[in-house]
A and B are shown apart, each in its own frame.
Chain A
Amino acid sequence: MAGTQMFCFGEYLLYKGTQTYHINSVEPVEFFYNLREDLEKLKYAVHINKIIRDVAQENQNSYRVLQLVLNTLYTISETDKNLDMVLGIFKLRLLCILGYTPKIEECVNCKQKENLCFFSIKDNGVKCQTCGKLDTSSIQISESAWNAIRYTVTAPPKKLYSFNLKEESLNEFELVTKLYFNNKLEREYKLDDFKV
């Protein structure tokens, strides 16, 4: 059945068995077919899948996670956006849903609202120039990278992927999201690691 293949989103009619649910029928809604035609896209989709399988737990409300996954897969499948950026946004947004939202409006140390040019992994937020230099775990970020982080944290779910970044700030954004994600989930996720 096509409805039981990987990355298929559909409406499932289930009935409860002794240990598992049994599928009675499936009505597929979206297949994300383009993922199957492009190996590069598939690589990112599988990476996202791996993260979700670690993060999601049984019998808890995961509406926002599902919404994020569907939006991300749709963006990867249907648009030609930079895949590294999509992955970065996905990781940061997922952390926000899981309860690790970084503090981005003011310096976490001295509450100053200007000159925010460091992102501290240890203290979960941005820092001003003076506090950032004292913190060894902080990464220097440009203003556009800071804006991207702020947008990712605050944007409505449907408009999450509607911005672009220049290469330099994209590299900073990727680095921050990657380190922050690995630090918070206490595991190193590598894109080229295909072991499930």
Chain B
Amino acid sequence: MSSIKINGIVLAENNMGDFDKMLTLLTPNLRKNLVYSQGSKKTTECSFGWYTNVLLWRIFTL
């Protein structure tokens, strides 16, 4: 799974479900992508849950 590191500014945020957000980013090359951010609405208390979520993703896809 390849990941990209890119600079960008958030143009819009839309809530998706209880914990997720759909972002619109303005970036130098991938102009205006829709970016799905998992668990970005969770509060700090729950953030551990979000990290495990990402970790699971990694395990599944690797």
CB of B38 within 8 A of CB of A6, answer no
CB of A20 within 8 A of CB of B1, answer no
- Please, how many angstroms separate the alpha-carbon atoms of A189 and B42 in the complex? 36
Q: Which residues of B contact A57 (CB under 8 A)?
A: 31-32
Contact size range, A: 35 or more
CB of B33 within 8 A of CB of A49, answer no
Report if B56 contacts A (CB, 8 A). no
Q: If A53-B24, A66-B26 touch, does A15 touch B7 (CB 8 Å cutoff)?
A: no
CB of B5 within 8 A of CB of A13, answer yes
Q: Which residues of A contact B30 (CB under 8 A)?
A: 21, 58-59
B:19-62 near A, CB below 8 Å = 21-38, 40, 54, 57
How would you classify the secondary structure of chain A's contact residues: helix, strand, loop or mixed?
Answer: mixed
CB of B10 within 8 A of CB of A6, answer yes
A:1-22 near B, CB below 8 Å = 1, 4-17, 19-22
A67 to chain B, nearest CB (A): 8
With CB as the reference atom, state the residue of chain A lying closest to B47: A1
- Please, how many angstroms separate the alpha-carbon atoms of A21 and B8 in the complex? 13
A62 to chain B, nearest CB (A): 4
Report if A98 contacts B (CB, 8 A). no
CB of B12 within 8 A of CB of A12, answer no
Q: Which residues of A contact B4 (CB under 8 A)?
A: 13-16, 21
**Extra 5 A-B pairs, beta carbons < 8 Å, given A23-B40, A62-B31:** A12-B5, A22-B36, A57-B32, A62-B32, A66-B8
